Structure 1
Amino acid sequence: MVDTPLLAAMPTLQQLNVSLRNLRRPWPNKWPGLPLVFERAWQQLDLGTPRAGSHAHTLLSFGRSVVEQVERDGAQRHALGQEPAYHNRLHIADTLVCMSFLLKASGVLKVPGARQPGVGAMALCIMAGHDFLHPGGTNAQPGEFEARAVQDLQPLMTAARLSDEDRQQLAHCIMATDPVRVKASHLAVRSRAFDLRQVDCLAVLVQEADILASTLPQTQQELTEALSREWAPTQPAAADKLLLPQNRLLFLEHAALFSSPAAQSFGLDRVKLRQVNQITSQLRQLA
């Protein structure tokens, strides 16, 4: 594929932080809608207008139907004061933006598959649906909400006429966002060349996009506090623990894992290490 201006320059963490900040300015009262965020991410990846009947066109139709339903559901719950504080439309928007940055960086780095329209379209569809109609809170058993999202997406997959292969790929990557699966997913790809045409590698990129905003120091505090508020009604003790610096260390060291070439190019391990060192120093002074 010929390089395009949109893919020629390596994106930066500074640019990502600006994009995440711009999402927050209108939230929630002047929110332009998740469908607009999805379309902008599609444009940023230079996916264009797919030919009718093409694979990318099928995925575009599916992705649009997902974000439209998420937006309707979120707006209705927000009006009733019932939209989750963390697993809401803003979180989906964050992950769409983070995925677009990871894919753009992957394209510049010439990661296999990164510039294939079907891969980019699939990645955006996964982020759009990974927390589909999330009820808030945490899994009572491993994979509970992820499996529920996959099941609830089935009618939209059928309406868009997704192939069995696409359905399996979506399900695999959505199930991979269960926190208990993250470490094993990263270990599975670290010993081989990263190739986004392989579902295990795409799943890792999905996991990275899911927690990237929560890793960055510019957005982590706001998101941690939002998750704490979401947990508070049913898990008050766990909600309080989320705000402790020790919990932040656990997240950075065991949950915020980054293995893709794109994540490495952003220096995300250095971003994590700086935070770990700061927190460790603070805890040492308090001891």
Structure 2
Amino acid sequence: MASIHPTAIIGENAKIDPTAEVGAYAIIENGAEVGAGSVIEPHARLCSGAKIGANCTISSFTTIAGLPQDLHFDKSTISYVEIADGSVVREGATIHRATKENASTKIGKNCLIMANAHIGHDCVFGDRVIMAPFSAAGGFVEVGNDTFISGGVMLHQKIRVGEGVMLSGNSALSLDVPPFVNSLSRNNIAGFNLVGLMRRKVAREAIAELKKLYALVYGGGNPRKNAKEAFDSGLAKTNEGKTFLRFFFENENSKGIVRPRSRNED
């Protein structure tokens, strides 16, 4: 039997693994699921549609799979939040379920969503994403693996953030952010997240190639066109270089991609 505090409120059709732990006054609604070894702390709320993987921690006063903040959402829509194994959602954070039938808002493996952060409906976060306190992602935001979202960052709906990005505190993004870069201020970038690349033990030749491709893509003219021409010409030899270039042209519905700007433009 799972360790469930007697004051917890558990829906009849909730699925809780026998090795999970549920704290005092937690609410787990009908249809919610809790995986092996996961801890649901006191006063946490798992709404219908919450699917928590193995060895996760859902901290106090969180709300997982709450209704989307979408004026057109039909409450009868069946949708989900999926949190993969090993992820931690700290106190006061909110993650809303998807707006489309049988769709999911997804959080990858070993993510850390810190206190009072918000992840909107239909977002897809990769693995090992860290999201600091008081940051927020609007609906349909995509975030790649190993990205760090600093405190107070605001991500506009329907944008993409590539893998390995560092988003500086209080940044505001309404355009796509390519992989591996440092982003700051409002829709601005400044070179690569070298600390992150080195921590992930990316080869020196890949980092050198990324620097050359960055200069080429942002050297003048249209970055999308520059990236496509560089990719088609085979200038990217490493996986990192190919990933960087593909980001610029692989999504035809992109709202636009950030560019480096001077302090005077900021």
Give the structure-2-normalised TM-score. 0.30
Structure with more of its chain in strand, by fraction: 2
Give the number of the structure whose alpha-carbon radius of gyration is greater.
2
Structure with more of its chain in helix, by fraction: 1
Give the structure-1-normalised TM-score. 0.29
Higher RCO by CA contacts (8 Å cutoff, separation 6 or greater):
1
